Amino acid sequence: MALANRLHPSHRRPISLPRPWPACAQELLRQGASWLRGNSWEGDLVALPGGPLLESRWDGQRWITLLDGRELAGQPFDILERVTTADHPWIGALSYELACSEAGLSHQEPGAGALGLSWRGVTRALQVEGELAELWSWGEAHVDDLEGRLAQACALARPQLGTLTPRWSETAHREAVETIRARILDGDFYVANLCVPFDGAWAGDSATLAFSCFRRANPPYGAFLPLSDLTLLSLSMERVLGKSGTTLISEPIKGSTPLTGDAIVDKISGEALRLDIKEISEHTMIVDLVRNDLGRVAKFGSVRVSELMTLHTYPTVQHLVSRVEAEARPDAGLADLLRSMLPGGSVTGAPKQAACKHLADVEAAPRGFYCGAIGWIHHDDFELSLPIRTAQIFEDHLTYWAGGGITLRSEAAKEWGELHLKTQVMKQPRAMS
């Protein structure tokens, strides 16, 4: 279990899974466990409930950060850096608006009391990789009947998700796209990532919805996080920033085409995507932006593109993905790295300052945790995904955003179709088998 070499649990105990995985985790999830899954997390990591809680909320004038209810002084990223030096890892998320605030970028003001950062310390976790499972703990060893809890089958309500409805019309989206194209012609920016919220009525059990969506999407960076005010269900394919030792890695995604299941059709559409001038130019601009962002916190001359515009295939879509690596400067702490890289360039545009200013003026609502960051932090190592393909689930409704980069070559009708393509993974949720 390679992840153990990065999270350094104090104690490891093999666990026999009494029921098929991941169904045996349903009782833990019902009780508030956090779940990271996918090949990029090296299996499934289920953080058991408990542990200290760090939260930042907007009070209408500034971000107030509390650790287990006690207010801490400082900016949220600086506090996060201080707190995560503890012996145990942390799992959590931060919002797009908080990331913009920390980076000095324009953004829509969240509502008073809005949650912008939520990280919980992990004292115990279940790690599953293939058919192997272990109980990990940090600090003192715990003895309990975890196998018995995993064997419990609880009655979970089948998820019922209404039609996802965009918060503005195709006409409004076309006008927004044409405005961006006009601003590009004026030289204000090169690309802007325009995002639209989709809303749907919701009832049922969110863990069951997560099972269904994970099975349908098989995301490299899946996450199911119960937070104080909402639950996050992320089906992200994109790593916004990872750090292992001194190595920094970002894997921007730009360029999409549907996956039909017809091998010949998908091969043709994939090759067309690789040759599409609009997609190539957009992707190149974002890779350059990521290189620049990494360059501010990297050792001189260490930034390199190790993979450029490789076609990656997922269950419902094909994407162009690049990989940018660098060696972190010794004086660059967690807060420096986050401020340099967040929000991710693939969900803002270039240059960031101008693109974010325009998006703050025109988008339908604050993005919330969509396009912020989700993942784990442990000492100097971390893995953070970019929460695209992410639902923010409330008591009786959910919001699922979709977006796309707008360049001078963008066609409004295609951009509108791409938004709906990206919602497909949330449709027709199936009951857990």
- The residues assigned a catalytic role are 238, 254
The CA distance from 301 to 295, in Å, is 8
Those residues whose C-beta lies under 8 Å from the C-beta of residue 276, and which sit 6 or more positions away, are 255
Structural contact between residues 3 and 43, judged by C-beta atoms closer than 8 angstroms: yes
The CA distance from 257 to 241, in Å, is 24
The CA distance from 163 to 201, in Å, is 7
Which residues partner with 63 through β-bridges? 58
Phi, psi of 427 (to 5 degrees): -90, 155
Task: Tell me whether strands 239-244 and 231-236 are parallel, antiparallel or unpaired.
Answer: unpaired
The CA distance from 216 to 45, in Å, is 19
Run of H or E residues at 149: helix 146-151
Tally of residues, the chain: 433
- Residue 87 is classified by DSSP as S
The CA distance from 54 to 117, in Å, is 8
Q: What is the 3-state secondary structure (H, E, C) of 185-235?
A: HCCCCCEEEEEEEEEEEEECCHHHHHHHHHHHHCCCEEEEEECCCCEEEEE
Is 147 exposed, middle or buried (CB count within 10 Å of its CB: 0-12, 13-18, 19+)?
middle
- Residue 308 is classified by DSSP as E
The CA distance from 118 to 41, in Å, is 19
Q: How far is CA 259 from CA 142, 256, 415, in A?
A: 46, 9, 17
